Structure 1
Amino acid sequence: MNFSRTARMALVFAITYCMAFTTYSQDNTAPAQPAAKAAAQDAGPAANTVPAQVTENSDAGPGAAQAEPAAAPAKEEAKADKKKEGKKEKFDWKKSHIVDVANAFVKEITASNYEAAYKMGGTILREKRTLEEFTADMKKWAFDRPGKVEWDNGNNALPVNNGFKLMGKYTPKEGVAFPVYMHLEGDAHVDGKTRNREWSAKTKWTVMDYRSAKSMMSRVSDGSSTILDKILLVCAIGLLIALLGLIIGYMRGLKGHPRELWLMFFTKLTEYSAYGAASSIFVIFLQQDVIMGGEPLGDTNGYMYYMIWGMVATIITMMVGAVCDTIGVKQCLLIGAVMLLISRFCTPLSQDIWVVTFLGFLPLAFGFAITGPVLKVGIKWFTTLKTATLGFGLFYTLMNVGFTVGAEIADYFRKHHADGMEIFGIEMTTYQAIIGVGFLINIPDFIAILIMREGAEMTENGVVIRKKDGLSGEALSTELKSNVAERRQKMIREFIRSVIATVIVGLVAVAFIYAEVHTWKVGVVKSGIYFWSFVITAGILAVGGIIYAIMSLLGSLNTGASLDRVMKSVRDATEETIRQLKENFSQKPFWIYMAMLGILTFVKLAFYIFHVMFPSYATRVFGYDFPVVSLFGTLNPAMIVFLVPLVSVLTIRIRSYSMLIFGTFLSALSVFICFIPDGLALAIGDTWFGTWLFDYWVEAPVGNQDPFVISLVLFIIVFTIGEAIWSPRLMQFSAEIAPKGKEGAYISLAVLPYFLGKIGATVMADILTEKYFASGMTEFPDHEMAWLWIAIMCLISPIGMVVFKGTFTASEQMAEDEANAVRKAETA
């Protein structure tokens, strides 16, 4: 396949995409600007890695030195440029009074003047702890020894960014240095609703908490470990051994398979590490970093952009997936890898919506569309019928390991590079840097694909290298040449229909502009913006139809060549999907199948909510320094890796439908754990569980240890256990109730309910954001209510499975009877 042609196709597609979105959003600037301005509060200003040397006797002044008068015009010009780009002035914490406050507090602690430090602390510090408790904490963290602190990092912290978190290294005069952190409130004496959170030299800082950030391994190595440390260490070693044993078990079963299988597994691990790092921050990146008209997109526009991109990416996947059959696994993976490299290289270079779309999200969509299906097809090519199960098992394990690694990468950058990075003179935001890491991860991925052999395949008799079948290629060329006139007529009709559809969508868009549809609202429901989103999507699909027809016509000019064959594959895949829909729509089993998948979609959408809504929710409700990615992105896949094989072994004799009901009920009801009484959550927080969560993981200061976080983590744990029960059985049940010989068609169409469900879930996320934790709010008294609506959504799945139990079990029994009849016929 000629890559330059593919690139040109992507570029044309991107131009239309951006023109439609820009037209809509520029007419929507009135409602978008206030949200965008407030959204800037969510960005963590701070992690400058140049150390600020601080000693016990620091004499630094309370503010930064004033600039030279001659430099004032240049500074004003720089500020104007930043405002033009939609950026917020950074808070230079190293030159602010915050360093002096932290310094003075540390000085009193190292001198054992605990009462003086206690009085220097803020109101929350004194309210939450007595002097005796405070003193005990300082001694527990080994701060009672003379030494000094070097602050080298900092970022916004606390709910609604009410404070700041300094991070540094404490070096005692005797002993080994260790990391520390301090939370400080800004202008705590001012009412929360009127507080200015754009910190400056005039901000009054008060200490909330001061703690050690020693890692578990550091405490074990220096002899200061606790019983909890030892228990966690034993568990970690045990889980690591179990993971290695699981992977080695798969590898033994796959011994003798071609190297392409292992290279593909490596590709899987690297790609899902890159994707796992970026997937949970895509929406917040769009909302805060992507600039259009001098302002960030804001909440609603960010959600809608992501929804439209997701719909377009899914449709591209359905159309392009069949290209693998034409050009092979290696060529498909190479094209996908190049697309992903382009996307992850270019996205960090600019915040402009045109650049981000042209060279970022559209290549990403094509990369996912090509790479995703091919990785699954590759397992089929590189395994036998007997070993395919092992191949998919290792595939699933590495996918979850990749997600876990990616989540940790994302939160590492959010913590240590909260103010972004500068590489070769190019400034990147935190989220651009996270996406850029994917580029570095994809480089060895690309090299691994290059090492693959073209035509490698695993057969029952061993590894073979198949050469391209010249006869079949010649036959295909002959077929394409024989019907070229007929095909061109069809392409011209498609082109005309697509042009007419584009004109109609354009007229609707013009009418929407004159009617000011973007201003339509029903309460907090921005119905006008949602209408615009569907018009934009329709426009993209209509223009996509034009590009599709043009590419087909260009391919027919050189009949039988690469482009003509590729477009034939795309056409055949599209026509086959349409044919399957038409054929199956008239069959009752298909509607039962779709109804079951549609019902189960509601509980599956909880994953989507965590990727789309949770990052914005957590940064506002819990603070920028909260681990918004790894809380779900690490906990969930890490548990799934171990739970799925265990649950599968223990429940092998239980019917799939029973497991689906039990598992979905467990997952859906787990959301209600968010509403356990605060007293119970605090009681749990006072145990080793709270120490592990608040002190070791979240690094929440005393005074900001929200009991809701305990409830949230318990909910994720129980939800994941339920997922380990129902998720593996969903695919099995899908295959079981599909009519004999139509399993592939049914499974290939299984994406439709989830595809439609994501549209509703995105709208739901926007409505919940606007109502309970909008960017302009200074308090979130009802943020828990968002989870009530999510719980109700999830409950639809198990309740629906129970209500329609008779229909679904009858289909399951019919499929089982059919399978038994086939088995008897084969043995007769």
Structure 2
Amino acid sequence: MENFEPAVTWSPPSRSQTSADEVPSAAAAPAAARPTEDSPLRANTTTGQFGRLMRCPRELWFVYAMKMGESFAYFSMSFILVLFLSEEYGFSDREAGWIYGVFGLLSSLVGLCVGSAVDNLGVRASLVLGSTILTVSRVLLCLTYSSHITVAVLLVGLPVGASLGIPLLSHGVRRYTSEPTRALAFSIFYVIMNLAAFLGGVTSNIIRHQYKKGLDLHIGNAVFHLTTYRILLSVGTCLSVVNMSLACCIREIVVVRHDAQPEEFKTRRASPVQITYEVLTQARFWRYCGLAAIFVGCRMNLRHMDATLPKYLTRMHGPDAPYDLIISLNPMLIVGLVPLATVFAEHIQWPITHFLQIGCFLSSVCPFALAVSTSYTAAVCSIVVLSLGEAMWSPKLYEYSVTVAPEGREGTFIALDTAPVFLSKLATGGISGTMLERFVPRDDPERRNPLLMWAIIGCLSMISPILLWSLHHIIFRIEDYRGSGSQRAIVHQQHASKGPADEAAGASQ
């Protein structure tokens, strides 16, 4: 934790103590007290934070580059996954939906199994191993035409690789930044993820229109035919190879102070049982799990963009419907909205609960736009409202998740904590396939009732804001924010809601 008290301080006298002619000018102030880039007067400004961020170790920028590559590979695959399974392997809507959902669930279960191994291996070894497994899995996904191998890759290879690599990227941001730059660093991290998702959607649309018949690759005397979907998957595979190379260049270090050299991070090795027990016995872990579980309904709308919207749009508007461009509006808006939301949060100093509640409500109410009309305009409006809400709640929740994680136990904490996140994928996969077969069948247009389908989805997602509003006094505690940028806001919010008797009781505890 950094101490921002200056070695020499200077405060201008008040008007009652000094005349106007005697008030010191900026030039007369001691040099150590002038608002330089490293002074406390600029410690919390966006410009000062960005200046410090530029001096972070190279590992931070490697993490950003790896996040860009992995997010592009993941989102470009998720945009087409259910269509890929149905069109190339003949899976029904329900089967494709459940494969999508079980893929998310197994990512969580595998994370539970390897979380302690990640803590023992450290950031570098875990990223190298995870990116290698992801690369091999994506190569198989591009080349095989066996449905059994494809399902095995989706349910084994990708979950194992993702569990070893993806959570460590966010904790790399934590380790390679100091306290005053961490909020900005996570905002950039989140923007990079959404920029990659946007590029994935645009690339998907370009490839679908330029290579409708696929592409023949001639390697020696052999000819490999890549379908449209496999061309897009191969782009993500190439980026996985780049990530594997970058992972080898990362050092096991931690930034303690912005004005000091990074220190070597010593991995806290322990048995899996001991690590898991250490995490499970912390009350803040269970409070955060409750918060993550509440957001399952809200997160389901993000997953419906992958699992439901592509098939819905192609069946209502034809195979050339630009579902990938419409979906990519979300990350494009997030790229611009998240920095604005970060600056806005710093300016008004709202408690974090306000951002989570308002953002959760907006992201949960967005399906009702599609319950009014089947037009492209309704789809765009739904994405815009979803994005406005996500820009408010997601970065705050993301930053908080790594802030409350114990140092050296991030892998186990996040593995246990992300179970509700992946449960949203399982729920979305099952609901999506059932809803599509029931309300938007592929071969029976007369039975279609898409407006009712989206109304039901909207009602299910509204459970999240209702629970969040009802339980926020139980979930949010001051001690969980200790040392984070959100502490002052939550303290302000809790003190404002207490009377003198409550404050006295709290002091006695």
Q: Into which bin does the TM-score normalised by the smaller protein fall?
A: 0.7 to 0.9
The residue that corresponds to 1:671 in the other structure is 367
Match of 1:260 among 45, 59, 69: 59
Does 2:303 match 1:608? yes
**Distance verdict in 2 for CA 1:369–1:649, change over 3 Å:** same
Q: Is this contact kept in 1: 2:108–2:419, CA < 8 A?
A: no
Task: Tell me which residue corresponds to 2:39.
Answer: none
Structure 2 residue 330 is the aligned partner of structure 1 residue 636: yes
Cα pair 2:187 2:338 within 8 Å, conserved = no
Amino acid of the structure 2 residue aligned with 1:664: C
Counterpart among 598, 602, 614 of residue 293 in structure 2:
598
CA distance in 2, matches of 1:799, 1:775: 35
SS in 2 for 1:776: coil
Match of 1:448 in 2: 246
In 1, Cα distance between the equivalents of 2:264 and 2:401?
Answer: 33
Name the CA distance, whole Å, in 1 between partners of 2:180 and 2:233.
39
Structure 2 residue aligned with 1:408: 202
| 1:326 alignment partner in structure 2 | 120
Q: Does 1:770 align with 2:437?
A: yes
* Aligned position for 1:711: 378
1:401·1:637 contact (CA, 8 Å) conserved in 2?
yes
- 1:341 is aligned to 135
Contact 2:187–2:395 (CA under 8 A) maintained in structure 1:
no
1:754-793 maps to which residues of 2 (within 5 A)? 754-779=421-446, 781-793=448-460
The CA deviation string for residues 360-379 of structure 1, in whole angstroms up to 9 with x for no partner, is 65222211111111112222
1:659 aligns with 2:326: no
Query: Residue 767 of structure 1: SS of its match in structure 2?
Result: helix
Correspondences of 1:465-476 after superposition (within 5 Å): 466=264
Please show how residues 462-541 of structure 1 align to structure 2 within 5 Å: 462-464=260-262, 466=264
Percent pairwise identity: 25
Q: Which has the higher contact order (CA 8 A, sep 6+)?
A: 2
Change (3 A) 1:468 1:594: closer
Measure, in 2, the Cα distance between the counterparts of 1:672 and 1:372: 33
Q: What secondary structure sits across from 1:426 in the alignment?
A: strand
Partners of 2:368 and 2:147 lie apart in 1 by 39
2:61 aligned with 1:365: no
CA distance change for structure 1 residues 792 and 411 in 2, over 3 Å: closer, same or farther?
Answer: same
Equivalent residue, structure 2, for 1:435: 233
Matched letter for residue 808 of structure 1: H
- In 2, distance between residues paired with 1:630 and 1:784? 22
Q: Deviations over 1:724-750 (max 9, x none)?
A: 2333444578799x8999x98987654
RMSD (Å), alpha carbons: 3.7
The alpha carbon displacement at 1:569 in A equals 5.3
Contact 1:647–1:725, Cα closer than 8 Å, also in 2 = yes
Q: CA deviation at 1:340?
A: 1.4
Q: Secondary structure at the match of 1:427?
A: strand
Query: Which consecutive unaligned segments of at least 5 residues does structure 1 have?
Result: 1-245, 291-295, 477-567, 679-706
Give, in whole Å, the separation in 1 of the partners of 2:192 and 2:139.
25
| Corresponding residue number in structure 1 for 2:77 | 278
Instruction: Give 1:674-689 correspondences, 5 Å limit.
Output: 674-676=370-372
Aligned to 1:44: none
Q: Is the 8 A contact 1:615 1:629 kept in 2?
A: yes
Match of 2:315 in 1: 620
Higher radius of gyration, 1 or 2: 1
Name stretches of at least 5 consecutive residues in structure 2 with no aligned partner: 1-44, 480-489, 496-502
Q: Contact 1:674 / 1:715 at 8 angstroms: preserved in 2? A: yes
> Is the 8 Å Cα contact of residues 96 and 433 (structure 2) preserved in structure 1?
no
TM-score (norm 2): 0.74
Structure 1 CA distance for aligned equivalents of residues 132 and 162 of structure 2: 11
Q: Show the 5 A alignment for 1:32-181.
A: none
Partner Cα separation in structure 1 for residue 400 and residue 167 of structure 2: 21
Alignment: residue pair count: 435
Paired with 1:573 and 1:624, the residues of 2 have a C-alpha distance of 50
Matched letter for residue 283 of structure 1: V
- Partner Cα distance (1:248, 1:335) in 2: 37
Task: Give the TM-score taking structure 1 as reference length.
Answer: 0.47
Distance 1:249 1:405 in 2: 30
Instruction: Tell me how far 1:636 sits from its aligned partner.
Output: 0.8
- The one-letter code matched in structure 1 to 2:255 is M
